[in-house]
Structure 1
Amino acid sequence: MNQELIGILDQTIVMLQQHREDELRTLLDELHPADLAELLEELEDEQRAAVVQLMSGPTAAEAIAELELEEQAAIVTALPPEKAKAILDEMSADDAADLFAELEPEDAGSLLQLMTQEDATDVRELMTFPEDTAGGIMTTEFVAIGAQRTAADAIDELRRAAPSAETAYYVYVVDEQGRLVGVLSLRELIVAQPDAEIRSIMRTNVVSVHVNDDQEEVARTVQKYNLLAVPVVDDQDVLRGIVTVDDVIDVLEEEATEDIFRAGGVSDAEQQLDLEGPIWPAIRARLPWLLGLLFLSLVSGKVIEGFTPLMDRVTALAIFITTMAGGAGNAATQALTVVVRGLATGEMERDQVGRVVWREARIGIVIGAICGLVLGVTAMVWNHSPWIGLIVGLSIAINLMLAKAAGSLVPVIIQRLGLDPAVASGPFIATITDTTSMLVYFSIAALILGAVL
């Protein structure tokens, strides 16, 4: 929260305490919905309810829609029925559906009864779709018109429907059965002759998504074609709704956050930071992951244990254990990041896996050769032994090459198993490379020192 908004927060609290409702209402009307949402987050429950009561229905609906779903639910259920109805009447159908999905069934049922029959039907329909699909994030508020109508008719339809539509940048063209057959941008409609038939000026190569498409696929489609909204159709190509760019931004943020948390081995339940909440849910979520990695890391310990007699004879080998493991882990994480992003954005196709792994392996060869030369010379000078330098240099070169290949291959294997490649996390890769790097390091050491000692 910036300083200006902190000042407004202080003013709001003072005005509430002094019952200066008219002044506070004027202050609230001047704020952007996103700022209002941030303001509501900082207020106590009673203060929050009082502030929402002072907002107009449209303003309150926009501000509440900016909040997290849990906070939306807490606010709406605490309001008097008439105020809740005023807010729900102004909320877009997709926002209302998301809100109702967060509520207890009895609360959702009570609030649905406050809505008009048409709006309640739209919300119920949206709630039938899985939340991470096109149907789950679409809105049913759009502008559609028949192909036989004229441009003037379309503009009249825009004037009528635009106030309640999610976006009015596109007019979708449908046939008698409601199937999507074309699309017009607002610009194309404005420059067309008023008596021109829609079928003569519409674009028929419409980019659309299916109601059951994953939300990530929808986001990629909007991003690829630079759309402000994408139509959603069913198996019969009937236009069911649209997904707008603001919903796509939310999806991208949600998916990026999810991947970041999974890459760190953190569960979905912890994606909302709760500084006041209990710590046990976080412990239960993280402990199995870390325990599993700890037991996996014991394999590295057993590898080192097997070469203990060798380290007793040449103690200098112990100095470079952390360097071997750390260097390999860092190299694998770099490759992992590149590949997981490629899989997430769709830039990496199934038939490109071999090329990607080979590319990363070649990168590992070059980087490994350079790092091996630098570290090998350093080890040789440091220990006054060319053999230690050769062991260290050759080991780090091989380990970096293998780590790059592993970092690019593991997420692909996990995706082939039907899992999210983001679970091929940094800790998991690091544990694998710890074991392989130790095995390579001490095996090379045993071969070289066994030949010269």
Structure 2
Amino acid sequence: MNQELIGTLDQTIVLLQQHRLDELRELLSELHPADLAEVLQELEEEDRTAVVQLLAGPTAAEAISELEPEEQAELVTALPPAQAKAILDEMSADDAADLFAELDPEKAGALLDLMAQEEATDVRELLGFREDSAGGIMTTEFVAVQAHRTAAEAIEQLRREAPSAETAYYVYVIDAQERLVGVLSLRELIVAPPETEVRAIMRTNPVSVHVNEDQEEVARVVQKYNLLAVPVVDDQGILRGIVTVDDVIDVLEEEATEDIYRAGGVSEAEYETDLEGAIWPSVRARLPWLLGLLFLSLLSGKVIETFTPLINQVSALAVFITTMAGGSGNAATQALTVMVRGLATGEVERGQLIRAVWREARIGLVTGLICGLVLGGAAMLWNGSPWVGLIVGLALTINLMLAKAAGSLVPVIIQRLGLDPAVASGPFIATITDTFSMLVYFTIASLVLHAVF
């Protein structure tokens, strides 16, 4: 929060305490909805409710729409029924559906009954779709005209419907069965001669997505074609809604956050950070991962224990244990990051997976050779033994190649199993590479020393 908003927040609290409500209403009416939402977030629950009750329905609806859905639900349920109805009727259908998704069925039903019938019907329709699908994030507020209408008739329809539409930059063209047949921009419609039929100026075969399309794929379509909105159709090609670019930005942020947390072995319970909250939810969320990886890491210890006689014979080998494990873990994490991002953005497609893994393995081989030469040379000079240098250099070369291959292969395997590749987390892959790097290191040491001595 910037200094100006901090000042507004302080003024809000003072005016509330002094019951100078007219001044407070005037102060808040000048704020952008996003700034007003930020002020609301910082207020105590009772003060937040009091502020919302001061605002007109449209202003309150815009501000509340900027909050997280769980915060919206908490705030709306705390309002008197009449105020809640005024706000819900002003909210866009997709925002209202996100809010209702946070409520238990009984509360959601009670609030839906308060809404105007048309708005409630739209919300119920959206709630029927999977939350992370195109249908789940679309809005049903758009402008669609019949192909046989003239440009003048379409503009007149636009004047009537645009105030309630999510966006009017695109005008969608439908046939008598409401199937999507074309699209035109607002500019194209305005500059067309008034008597021209829409079908003569529309672009056919418009880019669209299916209602059940995953939200990540919707975001990729919007990004690829530089759209401000993308139409959503069902199996029959009927236009059901649109997904706007602001919703796509939310999807991208949500998916990026989810992937980052999962790559660190952090569960959904911690996606929202509350620095003032209790630590136990975080402890419960992280502990299963840590315990599981702890027992998995015992395999590394078991490998080292197996080769204890070898370490006793050549104590210099112990010096490079952490370097060997750390180098492999770092290499695997790099490959994992590249592959997870490629899978998430669609840059690495299904037919390219083997090539992507092979590329990372080759990168691992080259980087391994260079790092192996450097570390092997250092080990030889340090210990005065060419055999220790050979063991360390050769083991690091092989380990980096295998680590790169594993870091890129594990997400692919997980995706083939129908799971999110981001769950191939950094801690998981690092623990696996720790074990195999020790196995490779001491196996090579055994073979070399056995051949020499």
- TM-superposed CA distance for 1:279, in Å, is 3.2
SS at match of 1:132: coil
1:226 corresponding residue in structure 2: 226
Letter in 2 for 1:281: P
Summarize the alignment of residues 434-445 of structure 1 with structure 2, pairs less than 5 Å apart: 434-445=434-445
- TM-superposed CA distance for 1:71, in Å, is 1.1
- TM-superposed CA distance for 1:8, in Å, is 1.0
- TM-superposed CA distance for 1:264, in Å, is 1.0
Say whether 1:198 aligns with 2:203: no
1:380 corresponding residue in structure 2: 380
Say whether 1:86 aligns with 2:86: yes
Summarize the alignment of residues 198-217 of structure 1 with structure 2, pairs less than 5 Å apart: 198-217=198-217
2:313 corresponding residue in structure 1: 313
Q: Distance in 1 between matches of 2:320 and 2:229?
A: 55
1:349 corresponding residue in structure 2: 349
- TM-superposed CA distance for 1:390, in Å, is 1.3
- TM-superposed CA distance for 1:204, in Å, is 0.6
What do residues 413-435 of structure 1 show as CA deviations (whole Å, max 9, x unaligned)?
11111111111111111011101
- TM-superposed CA distance for 1:27, in Å, is 1.2
- TM-superposed CA distance for 1:103, in Å, is 1.5
What do residues 317-337 of structure 1 show as CA deviations (whole Å, max 9, x unaligned)?
111100000000000110111
Summarize the alignment of residues 152-171 of structure 1 with structure 2, pairs less than 5 Å apart: 152-171=152-171
The TM-score with structure 1 as length reference comes to 0.98
Q: Distance in 2 between matches of 1:144 and 1:407?
A: 48
**Unaligned 5+ runs, structure 2:** none
Letter in 1 for 2:224: K
- TM-superposed CA distance for 1:17, in Å, is 1.1
- TM-superposed CA distance for 1:281, in Å, is 3.0
SS at match of 1:230: strand
Q: Distance in 2 between matches of 1:7 and 1:377?
A: 62
What do residues 104-129 of structure 1 show as CA deviations (whole Å, max 9, x unaligned)?
22222222122111111111111111
Q: Distance in 2 between matches of 1:352 and 1:268?
A: 30
Percent identity of paired positions between Structure 1 and Structure 2: 81
SS at match of 2:166: coil
1:29 corresponding residue in structure 2: 29
Letter in 1 for 2:317: L
- TM-superposed CA distance for 1:22, in Å, is 1.7
SS at match of 2:203: coil
- TM-superposed CA distance for 1:396, in Å, is 0.8
Q: Distance in 2 between matches of 1:110 and 1:451?
A: 80
2:48 corresponding residue in structure 1: 48
SS at match of 1:236: coil
- Computed over aligned residues only, the root mean square deviation of the Cα atoms, in angstroms, reads 1.1
What do residues 14-50 of structure 1 show as CA deviations (whole Å, max 9, x unaligned)?
1111122122111111111111111111101111111
Summarize the alignment of residues 169-180 of structure 1 with structure 2, pairs less than 5 Å apart: 169-180=169-180
Q: Distance in 1 between matches of 2:174 and 2:205?
A: 13
Say whether 1:298 aligns with 2:298: yes
Say whether 1:404 aligns with 2:404: yes
Q: Distance in 1 between matches of 2:268 and 2:2?
A: 29
Q: Distance in 2 between matches of 1:425 and 1:328?
A: 15
Q: Distance in 1 between matches of 2:234 and 2:93?
A: 18
Deviating more after overlay: 164-173 vs 20-29: 20-29
Residues paired across the two proteins, number = 453
Q: Distance in 2 between matches of 1:372 and 1:187?
A: 62
